[in-house]
């Protein structure tokens, strides 16, 4: 029985009432008992159950009780993606699917239906929950529709068909997997999502999401504890508020500034202007990505201050103020890719600084059907080397990036190297003779830096015999990235 609540009606009540109205309306339209699969009393053919097109096997066969198809609760619960629990002392069965649950007691014709943290309603069942051959049998339509599934009955084949309409919440059992699952949701910019956890403490669930995922402004959490198969589960729900990046990203994809505030419109216009200035007709995806990578390095300065401003963590800091930290760079690169229709995501994780690991953000971009990693922040020139653009972390694969980066989500892979800057421009060095070729070519344009990457050859061992005459009038200044074994060389007049 539903009770009207005066004053402000909570969202859960509205949702449950809407759900029940749909069930009642369906019953009226199709002239069926809301929770009974209509079958003739004399049906003799074995009853089959299909869930999402796949037959379900039962150790106790489905049967008719009071003209209602009854099935073992645990088997049907698992088939529709729910977690089933049996409370022996109370002789009760429970099924949990996300934050939705149903509960029934053996010997009764009553179902409890609700949402974790919300109100609960009681619904009369068309048949009594009963024990047969040590299995609790429940009305298949009642539990299925109670967990948001659609149910139909084919009298010609005695088949109950169930279609699930809910994607079960992912289940994790450690903090690493929890971060990975949250990363999936953050990438999709979902504002509310749930994750099911097993054997995790309640304190472990309350991660400070804004410190892990740098485009999150605010995140609130709540959780519910339940037991299934004798194991403690905790369902946690995250509500996320994103930074200005999220709104501008949607606007660029939709080519509309509707709903943006003044500062967001500034970012939107700057992105569009930069693309208009430098991206011409017929330019390849690689060239587009490289142009934006280079533009960011030329026009944005890394904020080395002990306490960077809030804006330095946003595209506003990077694109309008010209000063940013890692997520200002990564958010900005993604905005440019969004505007040009290039698939791109922000990768969250940690980066090694000396003997410590610090939270960081970089990007994964699709070029030619393959995924490449880019860290614009770490391609900013080292202090003291201001007049060049680094390509150490431009279009690299997991193997290279993971030498000093570690992402939260390790499921997604980047393996290609075709569009890696050093590979594509034949700047790899396997022996001294390879370095001689690059050095000889470089002295033809001594005002430009020489790039090279060692493969099986330690660039710290390089010698300059091939250009010994040139070195009479010039000195060489080098920056060597030991982790990636890359080098940039600059010539200066003596």
Mean local confidence (pLDDT), 385-396 = 88
Distance of CA 182 to the CA centre of its chain: 6
Q: Which domains does the chain have, with CATH numbers?
A: 11-40+49-154 (3.30.457.10), 171-242 (3.30.110), 244-418 (3.10.620), 428-493 (no CATH)
Q: How far apart are the first and last CA of the chain?
A: 92
For helices 326-340 and 285-299, the axis angle rounded to 10 degrees is: 150
| pLDDT digits 0-9 by tens, 212-229 | 887 888 899 988 888 877
CA neighbor of 149 nearest in space, from 305, 9, 37: 37
| 3 state SS of 20 | helix
Instruction: Write out pLDDT tens, residues 249-306.
Output: 989 999 999 989 999 999 999 999 999 999 988 899 999 999 999 999 999 999 988 8
290-299: which pairs have CB atoms within 8 A and are 24 or more residues apart?
A: 290/394, 290/421, 292/333, 292/336, 292/337, 293/333, 293/374, 293/376, 293/379, 293/389, 293/394, 294/389, 296/329, 296/332, 296/333, 296/376, 297/376, 297/379, 297/380, 297/381, 297/389, 297/390, 298/389
Residue 17 structure tokens: 């009432």
227 vs 207, residue with greater confidence? 207
Q: What is the pLDDT of residue 434?
A: 96
Mode of pairing for the β-strands spanning 120-124 and 110-115: antiparallel
Q: What are phi and psi of 27, to 5 degrees?
A: -60, -40
Reported residue count of the chain is 494
Please state, in angstroms and rounded to a whole number, the distance separating the CA atoms of residues 93 and 112. Answer: 10
Query: If you search the block for the tokens 């709903």, which residue do you land on?
Result: 259
pLDDT of residue 42 exceeding 70? no
Q: What is the mean pLDDT of residues 47-56?
A: 95
Per-residue pLDDT for 323 more than 90?
A: yes
Asked whether the beta carbons of 189 and 246 are under 8 A apart, the reply is yes
378 φ, ψ (degrees, to nearest 5): -80, -5
């Amino acid at each position: 029985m539903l009770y009207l609540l005066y004053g402000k009606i909570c969202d859960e009540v509205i949702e449950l009432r809407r759900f029940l109205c749909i069930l009642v309306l369906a019953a009226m339209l199709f002239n069926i008992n809301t929770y009974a699969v209509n079958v003739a009393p004399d049906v003799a053919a074995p009853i089959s159950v299909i869930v999402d097109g796949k037959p379900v096997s039962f150790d106790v066969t489905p049967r008719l009780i009071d003209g209602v198809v009854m099935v073992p609760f645990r088997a049907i619960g698992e088939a529709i993606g729910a977690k089933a629990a049996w409370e022996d002392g109370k002789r009760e069965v429970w099924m949990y699917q996300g934050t939705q649950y149903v509960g029934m007691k053996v010997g009764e014709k009553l179902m409890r239906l609700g949402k974790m943290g919300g109100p609960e309603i009681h619904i009369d069942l068309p048949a009594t929950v009963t024990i047969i051959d040590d299995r609790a049998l429940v009305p298949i339509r009642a539990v299925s529709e109670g967990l948001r599934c659609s149910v139909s009955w084919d009298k010609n084949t005695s088949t109950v068909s169930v279609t699930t309409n809910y994607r079960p919440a992912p289940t994790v059992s450690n903090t690493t997997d929890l971060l990975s699952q949250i990363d999936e949701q953050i990438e999709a910019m979902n504002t509310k999502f749930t994750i099911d956890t097993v054997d995790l403490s309640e304190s472990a669930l309350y991660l400070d999401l804004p410190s892990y995922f740098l485009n999150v402004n605010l995140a609130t959490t709540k959780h519910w504890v339940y037991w299934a198969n004798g194991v403690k589960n905790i369902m946690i729900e995250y509500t996320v508020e994103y930074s200005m990046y999220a709104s501008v990203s949607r606007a660029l994809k939709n080519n509309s500034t509707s709903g943006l505030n003044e500062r967001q419109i500034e970012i939107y216009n700057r992105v569009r202007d930069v693309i208009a200035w430098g991206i011409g007709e017929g330019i390849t995806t690689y060239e587009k990505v490289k142009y934006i990578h280079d533009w960011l390095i030329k026009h944005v300065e890394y904020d080395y201050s002990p306490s960077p401003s809030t804006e330095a963590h946003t595209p506003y800091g990077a694109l309008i103020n010209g000063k940013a930290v890692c997520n200002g760079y990564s958010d900005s690169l993604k905005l440019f890719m969004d505007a040009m229709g290039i698939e791109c995501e922000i990768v969250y994780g940690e980066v090694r600084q000396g003997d410590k690991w610090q939270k960081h953000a970089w990007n994964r971009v699709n070029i030619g059907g393959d995924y490449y990693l880019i860290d614009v922040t770490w391609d900013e020139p080292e202090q003291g080397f201001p007049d060049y653009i680094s390509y150490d972390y431009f279009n690299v694969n997991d193997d290279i990036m993971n030498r000093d980066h570690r992402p939260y989500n390790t499921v997604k892979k980047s393996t290609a190297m075709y569009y890696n800057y050093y590979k594509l421009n034949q700047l790899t060095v396997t022996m001294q003779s390879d370095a001689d070729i690059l050095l000889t070519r470089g002295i033809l344009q001594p005002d430009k830096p020489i790039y090279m990457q060692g493969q099986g050859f330690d660039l710290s061992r390089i010698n300059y015999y091939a250009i010994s005459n040139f070195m009479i009038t010039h000195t060489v200044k080098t920056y060597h990235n030991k982790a990636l074994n890359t080098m940039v060389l600059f010539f200066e007049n003596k």
